[in-house]
């Protein structure tokens, strides 16, 4: 057990958040079970392809049924990433990895929602398998021209923009998107190991092949795809983090020394203070630290140290903190869609705190001792803020609570459904009178978590302010685990 100042960070955290807690009021904890169910239901609203008979979000309908046809392959299915109608595999694969990690760490706490989590994961992995196996030597990484799509405001069911198909190959590599795809397939293979062993084996076999491709043909997919990737989902952090992340997941799935040796060859020298669909270093460190903490394997101690250094950069009042917080207590990383960073980092806080709690460990940030309770307190504070314990008393999850965003930046939600408006709505047809309308969206995208408030805890509920009002699959995916954790655990 680490030694240090008798003053733990808990009291410092309480001091740091006293204003935020007062501003948010003294409401009882949110209903985490309800929030968990809605966070998973959201994924139904993002589905592409032919929808099943048991679809609960009824205002959505079949879409993208010819995806892949331009390359004579079947690339139907998967998810639209956010409020648009494009399938970007890079963030979709990250979404899948985080959903899978949540199911692995917290599945026993999910109750009936575990099945819904598996359904959400499988909707993505069925598509990712197609992308990885349809054509030898190619990994398909996206469907839909993002530049033409973003000029339109139309329902996914009405899409008339070109459904361009994008892929990486030995001559146009994409180690980042391939590494993340391998991570997603490997993580999901563990999720389905008992529930569907045959499917699990297929996922793992494909993950191995995709990872081999990522390692053998190195390069950033942003360089290969250009404007199809940037500025939408550029790989700003490069591809080394995805190689580490993919190999870490394959090591977790296989326990094979090959992946361990590859991980060691990459080193662990990066000191991130963020975790997201783009930058996976911190996630890899926490994932690998599990082996050090729970299995007491000293070969992985360096990743435990890196994970703890990351936590010291996140915790308020840590001497190494590089993380801002709003007056209301929300972690604030970047102006555009800040909640994507909050939910992903919150996942790491709760999960590393869970590992620490299992072995009653602490660590030091300078002279302050950090306990598992410190990490779990901060994680709970972030979740509670998102669910309405904030200065505006606004839930940033659509359909949760009485006060939530009504005018989210989302085509399907903001346009009338086919049932109520069977006539097609063309590329330009959705702007007037729908996009520019001051009225609430006609369709409630239950469970969607939007980009969130600004650094002053303000939120304008403006459909055109996409950096704050647009939901995304990767925002939700990362919060599923912490919600499950909090549903049965006191912080």
Q: What are the residue numbers of the active site?
A: 409, 461, 470
Phi-psi category of residue 317: left, alpha or beta, with phi > 0 → left and psi -120 to 50 → alpha = left
Burial of 216 (0-12, 13-18, 19+ CB in 10 A): exposed
**Contact between 455 and 326 (Cβ < 8 Å):** yes
CA 241 distance to own-chain centroid: 16
**Contact between 100 and 190 (Cβ < 8 Å):** yes
- Provide the sign of the torsion angle of the four alpha carbons 80, 70, 174, 183, taken in this order: positive
**Contact between 70 and 85 (Cβ < 8 Å):** no
Picking from 295, 288, 230, the residue whose alpha carbon sits closest to that of residue 260 is 288
**Contact between 130 and 104 (Cβ < 8 Å):** no
Rounded CA gap, 142 and 467, in Å?
Answer: 22
- Joined tokens for residue 166: 């994008």
Helical (H) or strand (E) element with 5: strand 5-8
At 369, is the secondary structure helix, strand, or coil?
strand
Q: Which residue has the tokens 């993919």?
A: 246
Q: Who's near 264: CB < 8 A, 6+ residues apart?
A: none
């Amino acid at each position: 057990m680490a030694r240090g100042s008798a003053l733990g960070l808990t009291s410092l955290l309480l001091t740091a958040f006293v204003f935020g807690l007062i501003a948010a009021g003294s409401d009882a904890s949110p209903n985490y079970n309800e929030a968990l169910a809605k966070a998973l239901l959201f994924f139904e609203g993002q589905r592409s392809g032919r929808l099943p008979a048991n679809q609960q979000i009824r205002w959505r309908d079949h879409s993208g049924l010819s995806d892949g046809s331009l390359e004579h392959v079947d690339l139907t299915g998967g998810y639209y990433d956010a409020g648009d109608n494009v399938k970007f595999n890079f963030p979709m694969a990250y979404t899948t990895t985080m959903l899978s990690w949540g199911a692995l760490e917290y599945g026993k706490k999910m109750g009936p929602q575990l099945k819904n989590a598996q359904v959400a994961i499988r909707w993505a992995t069925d598509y990712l398998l197609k992308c990885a196996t349809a054509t030898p030597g190619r990994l398909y990484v996206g469907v839909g021209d993002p530049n033409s799509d973003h000029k339109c405001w139309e329902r996914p069911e009405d899409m008339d923009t070109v459904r361009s198909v994008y892929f990486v190959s030995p001559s146009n590599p994409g180690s980042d998107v391939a590494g993340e795809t391998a991570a997603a397939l490997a993580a999901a293979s563990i999720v389905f190991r008992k529930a569907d062993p045959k499917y699990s084996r297929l996922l793992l076999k494909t993950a191995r092949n995709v990872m081999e491709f990522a390692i053998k043909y190195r390069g950033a997919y942003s360089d290969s795809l250009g404007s199809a990737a940037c500025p939408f989902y550029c790989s700003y952090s490069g591809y080394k983090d995805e190689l580490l992340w993919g190999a870490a997941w394959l090591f977790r799935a296989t326990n094979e020394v090959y992946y361990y040796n590859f991980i060691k060859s990459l080193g662990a020298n990066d000191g991130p203070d963020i975790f997201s669909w783009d930058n996976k270093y911190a996630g890899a460190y926490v994932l690998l630290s599990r082996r050090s903490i729970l299995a007491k394997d000293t070969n992985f101690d360096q990743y435990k140290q890196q994970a703890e250094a990351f936590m010291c950069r996140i915790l308020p009042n840590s001497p190494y903190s590089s993380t801002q917080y709003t007056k209301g207590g929300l972690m604030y990383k970047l102006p555009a869609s800040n909640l994507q960073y909050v939910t992903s980092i919150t996942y790491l806080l709760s999960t590393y705190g869970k590992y620490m709690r299992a072995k009653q460990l602490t660590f030091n940030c300078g002279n302050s001792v950090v306990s598992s309770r410190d990490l779990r307190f901060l994680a709970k504070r972030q979740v509670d803020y998102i669910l309405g314990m904030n200065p505006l008393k606004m839930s940033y999850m659509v359909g949760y609570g009485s006060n939530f965003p009504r005018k989210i930046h989302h085509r399907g939600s903001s346009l009338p459904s086919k049932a109520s408006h069977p006539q097609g709505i063309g590329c330009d047809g959705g702007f007037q009178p729908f996009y520019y309308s001051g009225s609430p969206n006609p369709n409630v995208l239950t469970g969607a978590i939007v980009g969130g408030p600004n650094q002053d805890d303000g939120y304008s509920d403006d459909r055109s302010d996409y950096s704050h009002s647009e939901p995304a699959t990767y925002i939700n995916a990362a919060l599923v685990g912490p919600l499950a954790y909090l549903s049965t655990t006191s912080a």
